[in-house]
Structure 1
């Protein structure tokens, strides 16, 4: 079995974030099997041109939107998150402790 590239694994981890949920850059890296590579996640997102990718679900570890406050990207990310029912207050989302693995996040009991 061929190993997926780091970029493919990161993009798959981002696509797996359920609607109405968020994850930090570091959590995405961990889910992709690349712990400690949060900056790689940010670089891949910055260069991504796939309009279907739910990039807006990826935030800083403290729940803040990474774009400059009130920039076009900041406003768009906040708009998309709110459209999914995520509460965004002054560019920040209340982050919950990441689940142990993706299966638990998707199918485990609600907090």
Structure 2
């Protein structure tokens, strides 16, 4: 599969995340038919210039915002999620988990 097709599939998977819900990078990749390509999702989002793409709904698999705490991106993502009714505390979504990665589905959640 060429990179443009993969990017289209990833963007479609991100657009399909309902308002007020989140998904992990790995889950987005899986939904796009690209299991194991979480880093590709992250790279695509880092290069995103589509203002309508709901990038803020994509989190780390443990429900945390990937931006450094206090950064502009961190604040913007937190604000966008809260505006959709998502509870964010200390950079982590509470009350719902990002969809588990394949590893978490097989082995269970990572221990903090």
Give the TM interval when normalised to the shorter protein: 0.7 to 0.9
Paired residues for 1:1-111 under 5 Å? 5-94=5-94, 95-96=96-97, 98=99
Pick the structure with more strand per residue.
2
Structure 1's unaligned 5+ residue stretches are 100-111
Kindly report the root-mean-square deviation, in angstroms, between the aligned alpha carbons of the 2 structures.
Answer: 1.5
**What is the CA-CA distance between 1:98 and the residue it aligns to?**
3.4
Deviation at 1:27, TM superposition (A): 0.2
Task: For structure 2, list consecutive stretches of 5 or more residues without a partner in the other structure.
Answer: 101-112
TM-score (norm 1): 0.82
Q: Which has the higher contact order (CA 8 A, sep 6+)?
A: 2
Counterpart Cα distance in 2 of 1:97 and 1:28: 10
- How many residues are aligned here? 96
Find the aligned partners of 2:85 and 2:17 in 1 and give their Cα distance.
Answer: 14
Give 1:80 shift.
0.2
Segments of 4+ in structure 1 off by > 2 A? 94-99
